[in-house]
């Protein structure tokens, strides 16, 4: 794999502005677009195929010919105006590489991989009468020895603070659930990534704990860490670290006891009220593939 190293030069932002669809966005970080693009005041990007261009005229000519109004690959989820597309990084290499270039403008990763073959990309879109507008995405390895269910994850800046980050995370765990696995995002997480994941893990685990019923009257409900992990598809280590972060886990008489505090309950209720968009498993039409039997994918 070819890696782009995060030295002094690559930390310097090299693109001033990108225009994608109806949005003009100021990049946050360096991205290795071709040298001739970096001297331009604006890079123009087709929001459907993600091709980058030098001028509004080039974009206009491109849009007259571009046959796409949605990402390539299969639409595997739709509910109301939200869709997910699954894109194979080998079959749709140009799109996947352009997606990585766009994402790198907003992700401070140490490396950027140009070899997209081993990855699947799940792109979240908002649908209107014009087409499917990219909101964000996550990528995952086709075969992960560490059981990572996310490699990179990003909500584009115009769509941030609308609950889409959690929706992407929830979708990644729904995929893991269908695969019959527990998953975890690739480490290290960015500061923003850790906050989003910790919030998602906390809400999901508390939902499970608050839904528990005692087996007999007067008894405390019982559940194991493994059971929480299986019910949520969240890896055991992430369940434990979340319970510790929330100060809900105590050691008592030779065993761990989880106690839900009033404070944790109030925080959970507030966070749950804010989550207006959720994944509806009935709207996901997807079957896992066995990549180990497919040679070089």
> Over the stretch 43-52, which tens digit does the pLDDT of each residue have?
999 999 999 9
The residues facing 120 across adjacent strands are: 88, 140
The pLDDT value recorded for residue 7 is: 52
Do 198 and 242 contact (CB within 8 A), yes or no?
yes
The pLDDT value recorded for residue 2 is: 42
Give the C-alpha separation, 203 to 158, whole Å: 25
Percent of the chain with pLDDT over 70: 93
- Nearest alpha-carbon partner for 92 in 62, 120, 65, 111: 120
φ, ψ of residue 265 to 5 degrees: the values are -65, -45
The residues facing 84 across adjacent strands are: 77, 124
The pLDDT value recorded for residue 3 is: 44
Residue 238 CA, chain-centre distance (Å), reads 17
CA torsion angle 155 117 92 143 (round to 10): -70
Peptide linkage before 188 cis (omega within 30 of 0): yes
pLDDT, tens digit, for every residue of 148-170? 999 999 999 999 999 999 999 99
N- to C-terminal Cα separation, the chain: 16
Do 239 and 230 contact (CB within 8 A), yes or no?
no
Q: Which helix (H) or strand (E) holds 141?
A: strand 132-141
The pLDDT value recorded for residue 4 is: 47
Which one from 75, 174, 186, 227 is the annotated catalytic residue? Answer: 186
State the 10-residue block means of pLDDT for the chain, 297 residues long.
48 88 95 93 97 97 95 97 97 96 86 82 97 97 94 95 95 97 92 91 95 77 91 96 91 82 87 89 94 65
φ, ψ of residue 40 to 5 degrees: the values are -85, 150
Residue 170 falls in the annotated catalytic set: no
């Amino acid at each position: 794999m070819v890696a782009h190293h995060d030295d002094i030069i690559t930390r310097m932002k090299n693109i001033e502005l990108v225009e994608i669809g109806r949005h003009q966005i100021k990049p946050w970080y360096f991205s290795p677009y071709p040298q001739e693009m970096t001297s331009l005041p604006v890079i123009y990007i087709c929001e459907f195929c993600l091709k980058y261009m030098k001028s509004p005229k080039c974009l206009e000519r491109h849009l007259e010919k571009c046959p796409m109004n949605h990402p390539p690959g299969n639409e595997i989820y739709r509910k109301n105006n939200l869709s997910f597309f699954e894109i194979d990084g080998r079959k749709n290499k140009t799109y996947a590489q352009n997606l990585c270039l766009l994402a790198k403008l907003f992700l401070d990763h140490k490396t950027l991989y140009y070899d997209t073959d081993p990855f699947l990309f799940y792109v979240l879109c908002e649908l209107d009468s014009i087409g499917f507008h990219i909101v964000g995405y996550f990528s995952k390895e086709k075969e992960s020895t560490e059981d990572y269910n996310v490699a990179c994850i990003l909500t584009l800046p115009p769509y941030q603070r609308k609950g889409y980050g959690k929706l992407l995370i929830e979708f990644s765990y729904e995929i893991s659930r269908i695969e019959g696995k527990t998953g975890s995002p690739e480490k290290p997480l960015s500061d923003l990534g850790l906050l989003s994941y910790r919030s998602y893990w906390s809400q999901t685990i508390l939902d499970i704990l608050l839904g528990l019923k005692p087996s007999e009257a007067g008894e405390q409900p019982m559940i194991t860490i493994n059971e929480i992990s299986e019910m949520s598809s969240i890896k055991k280590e992430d369940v434990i670290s979340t319970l510790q972060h929330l100060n809900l886990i105590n050691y008592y008489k030779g065993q761990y006891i989880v106690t839900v505090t009033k404070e944790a309950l109030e925080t959970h209720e507030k966070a749950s009220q804010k989550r207006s968009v959720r994944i509806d498993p009935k709207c996901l039409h997807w079957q896992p593939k066995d990549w180990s039997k497919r040679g070089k994918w």
